Structure 1
Amino acid sequence: MIYEHPLAYLLGVEGIALLRAFRGEHDSDFVAARIAEIRRLLDDESLADAAVQVERVDTVTGYRLWSPTYDNANTAFDVDGPVVEEIVGALPSGRALDAACGTGRMARALAAHGHSVIGVDSSPDMLALARERVPEAEFRLGDLRRLPVSDAEADLVVCSLALTHVPDLNPVLAEFARVLRPGGHLVISDIHPESVARGSVPTVRGPDGRPGRLVAHPHRVGDFLRAALAAGMRPLRCEEPGLPAPQDDPAPNPTARPSSAPEPAGRQPVNDTQPVNDTPPGLGPWDLWPWSLATLVPEAAQAAAAGTPAAIIWHFQTAARG
């Protein structure tokens, strides 16, 4: 279980903002305002006893709950999509693997580029939607660490928004290298580790109304690079795009969708069941979307989020034969 307290989140945001001021990004008035705001937060009785216990949810269970709404207003797609499209669009068509294919977003894009596509995912529910979305592709149930794909079967592997669920990148990158032909390409996109560390973790609402968070790991930039090099791949490109701040959202979140209560893109609850705990008035559904609390500290939230990368995108290539 995860103990989540709204006051802990808010004080964390204030702390990041103050650290940025300490290194010279803000003036004394900003610091004084933050300290005064922290005192106000500590005196706010609506925050004092609002903590919740949140269950960690495995990916099969989580994506079963999430699959009906996964594609709804998912801003994470807007962050990684253009960069991945640019990379993939410059590569020749061939046999492509969409690893952790989900509902088939990347599989459809790969097919549109003329690739013969295999999609693999561990969620039967997501695969069912992918088969409807991309009937020309072949979809297989499987795990990233044991792909149901032959050695050197693929010219291209694309893996989008999935590796944050994997505790160790090394076996997964080794599998990608195994299924790639000599000179083959690997394109990975994921939520940036800094964003994961700040709480951008997929959230679902269970049938009983309780919030749950999918297992997530903030892999460092170097973790990706070390795993790829160990698997015999060389880096060709790395991008860390951010999410532009909308005018009405003082605390842009790397996976937030535009709404009155921002949430990670695609991380919306699976139904409208009310939470078991009683959310204090004015706090909104923070137990599902902690970043919605940022409206209580807009100046600190904007300062803390400024320049935060939303995603990390890699392009690797295996060694050519000869």
Structure 2
Amino acid sequence: MIHEHPLAYLIGLEGLALLRAHIGEYDRAFVESRIAEVRALLDDPALTGAVDVDRVDTVEGYRAWASTYDQPGNAAFDVDGPVIAELVDPLPPGAALDAACGTGRYARLLADRGHQVIGVDSSPDMLARARARVPAARFEQADLAALPVPDDSVDLVTCGLALTHLPDLAPAIAEFARVLRPGGHLVIADIHPEAVLRGSLPPVRTATGRPGRLATHRHLVGDYLRAALPLGLIPLRCEEPVLPVAEPTGPPPTGTGPWEVWPWSLAAMVPDAKRGANHGVPAMLIWQFRLTDH
């Protein structure tokens, strides 16, 4: 269970901005404005509507999200899509595994480039959409820690926006290394740990209508290396693309907005703190590894 309090989030955002000011990124006027804003937030009687939120596993969560997952507005697609295409374009067509394939976004990209694609996901609802999207690919329901693929059988593994759902990276990355042929490539994109810290946990409604957040874990940059290097996976690229902080188009909202749009509607209430806390912060962490020749 997660206890989400709008005041706690807003003060946390102010605190992140103040910590950056403390190391010299912002001036005295910014600091004094943040402290005054914190005092005003603490006195605001409207900021009392806390919500207890369930932690939801991927099967239940993506059952709720599958029908709207591909709709416009998912900013993550604009961040990872161009980088993933840049990384896989130079690779020759071969056997490719799209692990945690979701609705087949990467599988479509790989199939369009001539790869023979196998897609694996734990969510039957997402797989149904992937099969319709990429009919030439083969899709199977399975867990990332037990891929239904033989050893040394694929030239490329992709995995997008999935490893943050796992409490431990090691089992999945070990499976990726197992199925890759020597010299094969692993391309991973995930929500950056700094973005997770700032509230990037997907909201869903459970089957009973309760608020839920898809299980999300912060994996540090070094966690990927600690899982990959002992397996012979050598990093070739590491990208940390930044999502621009949108400038406000009007006065800050006076209410918190519905829970489904937290924390973004909350952050809009304190636009200067939002910019101060989030400016230049990476939205995503993208890796390319190559498996050494045995």
Q: Given the two structures, how large is their TM-score scaled by the length of structure 2?
A: 0.96
- Which runs of 5 or more residues in structure 2 are unaligned? none
Instruction: For residues 10-31 of structure 1, give each alpha carbon's deviation from its aligned partner in whole angstroms, at most 9, with x where no partner exists.
Output: 0001101111111111111111
Q: Which moved more, 1:283-292 or 1:173-182?
A: 283-292
Amino acid at match of 1:67: A
Shift of 1:285: 1.4
Q: What residue in structure 2 maps to residue 290 of structure 1?
A: 263
User: What is the 5 A alignment of 1:137-216?
Assistant: 137-216=137-216
1:305 aligns with 2:278: yes
Aligned to 1:277: none
C-alpha RMSD of the superposition: 1.6
Distance 1:15 1:249, change over 3 A: farther
CA gap of 1:249–1:170, structure 2 versus 1, over 3 A, is farther
Unaligned runs of 5+ in 1: 251-259, 262-280
Deviates more, 1:208-217 or 1:147-156: 208-217
Give per-residue Cα distances to partners, 1:74-117, cap 9 Å, x unaligned. 11011011111001001111000000000000000000010000
- Checking the alignment, whether the CA contact within 8 Å between 2:248 and 2:271 is kept in structure 1 is no
For the residue of structure 1 that corresponds to 2:67, the secondary structure is: helix
1:53-94: CA deviation from partner (whole Å, max 9, x where unpaired): 001101100011110001112110110111110010011110
2:124 & 2:288 partners in 1: Cα distance?
28
Other-structure match for 1:317: 290
Corresponding residue for residue 255 of structure 1 = none
CA distance in 1, matches of 2:6, 2:245: 22
Shift of 1:245: 2.7
Number of aligned residue pairs: 292
CA deviation vs aligned residue, 1:225-262 (integer Å, no higher than 9, x gap): 11111222111110000112334479xxxxxxxxx99x
SS in 2 for 1:46: coil
Question: Could you tell me the TM-score, scaled by structure 1's length?
Answer: 0.88
Aligned residue number for residue 25 of structure 2:
25
C-alpha distance in 2, partners of 1:288/1:36?
A: 26
Asked if structure 1 preserves the Cα contact closer than 8 Å seen for 2:100 and 2:122, the reply is yes
Residue 288 (structure 1) shift = 4.3
The match for 1:5 is: 5
In the TM superposition, residue 207 of structure 1 has moved relative to its aligned partner by 4.0
Alpha-carbon distance in 2 for matches of 1:123, 1:8: 33
Name the CA distance, whole Å, in 1 between partners of 2:203 and 2:216: 11
Q: Which one-letter code corresponds to 1:295 in the other structure?
A: A
How far apart are the structure 2 equivalents of 1:44 and 1:232?
55
